[in-house]
Amino acid sequence: MIHSKLVSSLERVFPDREPSAWEGGFALRGERVNFQLAFYNEGTPLVRCSVEAEGELAANISVRRIVFLPYSYTHIDRKDDYYLENSSGLIPELLAPFDSLGLVLPTKQWCAVWVSLDVPAWAKGNYETIFSLKDGNGNVLTSLSVKEEIIEESLEKSDLVVTNWVHYDCIANAHGVEPFSEGFYLVFKEYLKAYVAIGNNMLLTPIFTPPLDTEKGGERRTVQLVKVEISGGKYLFDFTEFEKFVRFAQENGIEYFEFSHLFTQWGGECCPKIVATREGKEERIFGWENDSLSEEYAAFLKAFFRAFLPEIAHMGLENRCFFHLTDEPPTHSLPRYEALRKMVKGEIGRLPTMDAMSDPDYYARGLVDVPVALLNAYPKFVGVHAEKLFVYNCCETTHSYESNRLMNMPLQRGRVLGYQLYETGVQGFLHWGFNFYNTAFSYGTVDPYRDTSAGGMLPSGDSFIVYPYEKGVLYSMRAETVREAFQDYRALKTLERKIGREKVLALLHEEGIQGYSEYPRSAERHLAFRGRINSLIKGE
């Protein structure tokens, strides 16, 4: 006998516990609706099973298998009580196509498949989809009916600037392609497709190899778009590859560009790795050995900016780009940061700088145009009245109920971010790890299917949310949750168009959502509130 259940997208289905039932709901046009079908087999194990959908929306439905992957490092010394029960082990994580075994149903265990409905623009009203679980011979073992109501409204376009850093050396290493080669772009297109689909619209652009997550004195694989030549004591710049990259990104949905950091991470003491051609030979001309305030680097930047700014204008990027100085500068780096900013702003003028940081003094002293505040530092930046403010989360936002996407956190903890971004009214969001398949500090590479913790040095799930696969990527459940978070944001914007921002804020506050740590810690409450938003959009 086979038992079946409809389960929401915010619950992980484990073999030894019965999942909670979900009744379905309703959605807007242009939205992806995710849910799970869970099965319990009381008989002998079954292989080569399949799940088939029938109904008017069947052509817009995909079904993926859910694969358990290991999570190990879970930051157990700095955590609150909104985590999964297990401290480490295996967890439902990867969404993958079915292989030759099809859906496997072990005996006396719960297992689930992941269902995604991409609501078409023509849909409206009530729909019923019948999902049939079939054995390897096509016999129906059990069926489930799922009912959805589609509201005759489309999700409002997001006004957020959202980035999740893409690591280009990791694409090259994982897929065995040369950076920015024809083979690279074939794979990169699939990464961008996933990147944009889950809500990102700004792309980290490696004008030089990004000086991120690299041990002092170490190097990451060169991924430098701007070609540099030294001839007759002068720097010459070729932007051909940069232009190709930007046009390619725009063709695939990218709207904004953030240029790779001009100084090393955590304070900007040194120069990024920059390679140049001199007398036909490529060599590294700047790196860890060069002080960031040296006369040599200042001269290089002056020459670079005087060539690059006309290029930005030529590409039409003047109102769609941001410059980074150094990532996460500590408080003691304020004097150096001030000097670095003076060096850069003297050349780029009104073009904005932005950096991830926790100390509001950087903004209070006028040293950064767009601060990117760590979620648990957000209230301090409100206190200095930042005119334009982005926020970010990472492995440091683990202990005060902040929204995050770590593997051992409930999925609702990641999805609530959409409500929070709307409530706080920030202009953008950043995360550092879309596909970081290295160890922390890039001592070496990792197999993300086996090591989800950057070599045991970062909490599992912090460093990536997609997995390399053949000539593209596979999503994680967490990546789909990120997509849902930004859909929730867009739903609030849709409602705002009808009733105004003040009334939408009142609804959020009534629900107990304020800032990045106060919210009902419940998947059921979250989904019920989204249902209420949909009802109000419908006019009920």
The domain that holds 131 is classified in CATH as 2.60.40.10
Question: With bands split at pLDDT 50, 70 and 90, how would you rate the model's confidence at 74?
Answer: low
Is pLDDT of 87 > 90?
no
Tell me the average pLDDT across 289-313: 98
Burial 54-75 (b: 16+ CB within 10 A, else e): ebebeebbebbbbbebbbebbb
Residue 537 inside a domain? The answer is no
Print the domain residue range for 47. 2-154
Tokens of 118: 């991409």
- Residue 198 and residue 117 in one domain: no
pLDDT at 78: 77
Query: Are 260 and 213 in contact, with CB atoms under 8 Å apart?
Result: no
Q: Coil, helix or strand for 473?
A: strand
- Which of 123, 138, 154 finishes a domain? 154
- Residue 174 and residue 48 in one domain: no
Closest to 138 (Cα-Cα) out of 111, 112, 113, 102: 102
Percent of the chain exceeding pLDDT 90 equals 95
Lowest mean pLDDT among 58-72, 79-93, 290-304: 79-93
In DSSP terms, 517 is beta-bridged to none
Is pLDDT of 76 > 80?
no
Question: With bands split at pLDDT 50, 70 and 90, how would you rate the model's confidence at 24?
Answer: confident
pLDDT at 540: 77
**Torsion from C-alpha of 326, 402, 332, 439, nearest 10 degrees:** -50
Is pLDDT of 182 > 80?
yes
- Residue 168 and residue 283 in one domain: yes
Residue 492 inside a domain? The answer is no
Residue 510 inside a domain? The answer is no
pLDDT in tens, 334-382: 999 999 999 999 999 999 999 999 999 999 999 999 999 999 999 999 9
pLDDT at 88: 75
- Residue 199 and residue 298 in one domain: yes
pLDDT at 86: 66
Q: What is the CA 288 to chain-centroid distance, rounded?
A: 29
Closest to 261 (Cα-Cα) out of 347, 325, 186: 325
Tokens of 388: 């334009």
- Residue 198 and residue 125 in one domain: no
Give the CATH number for residue 283: 3.20.20
Residue 288 inside a domain? The answer is yes
Residue 262 inside a domain? The answer is yes
Query: Are 34 and 480 in contact, with CB atoms under 8 Å apart?
Result: yes
pLDDT in tens, 391-405: 999 999 999 999 999
Residue 499 inside a domain? The answer is no
Burial class (CB in 10 A: 0-12, 13-18, 19+), 50: middle
- Residue 115 and residue 168 in one domain: no
Going by C-beta distance under 8 Å and a sequence separation of 6 or more, which residues neighbour residue 103? Answer: 48, 49, 50, 51, 65, 111, 113, 133
- Which of 125, 154, 183 finishes a domain? 154
- Residue 166 and residue 144 in one domain: no
Residue 539 inside a domain? The answer is no
Residue 376 inside a domain? The answer is yes
Question: With bands split at pLDDT 50, 70 and 90, how would you rate the model's confidence at 444?
Answer: very high
- What amino acid occupies position 325? L
Determine what percent of the chain falls in helix, strand and coil, rounding each to the nearest 5.
Answer: 30, 30, 40
Q: Domain count for the chain, please give it.
A: 2
Tell me the average pLDDT across 194-210: 98
Is pLDDT of 306 > 80?
yes
pLDDT in tens, 107-158: 999 999 999 999 999 999 999 999 999 999 999 999 999 999 999 999 999 9
- Residue 175 and residue 149 in one domain: no
Q: What are phi and psi of 290, to 5 degrees?
A: -110, 125
Is pLDDT of 496 > 70?
yes
The DSSP line for 96-165 is: E---TT-EEE-TT-EEEEEEEEE--TT--EEEEEEEEEE-TTS-EEEEEEEEEEEEEEEPPPP--EEEE-
Q: At 468, which helix (H) or strand (E)?
A: strand 466-469
pLDDT at 180: 98
pLDDT at 77: 72
- Residue 147 and residue 168 in one domain: no
d(CA 319, CA 507): 34
**Torsion from C-alpha of 458, 461, 464, 469, nearest 10 degrees:** 120
- Residue 194 and residue 292 in one domain: yes
Question: With bands split at pLDDT 50, 70 and 90, how would you rate the model's confidence at 26?
Answer: confident
Is pLDDT of 89 > 90?
no
Tokens of 350: 């009104």
- Residue 447 and residue 340 in one domain: yes
Tell me the average pLDDT across 504-522: 98
pLDDT at 159: 98
Burial class (CB in 10 A: 0-12, 13-18, 19+), 26: buried
Question: With bands split at pLDDT 50, 70 and 90, how would you rate the model's confidence at 97?
Answer: very high
Is pLDDT of 164 > 80?
yes
Burial class (CB in 10 A: 0-12, 13-18, 19+), 248: middle
Q: What count of other Cβ atoms lies within 10 Å of the Cβ of residue 485? A: 25
Closest to 19 (Cα-Cα) out of 8, 28, 30: 8
- Which of 154, 179, 211 finishes a domain? 154
- Residue 147 and residue 166 in one domain: no
pLDDT in tens, 205-224: 999 999 999 999 999 999 99
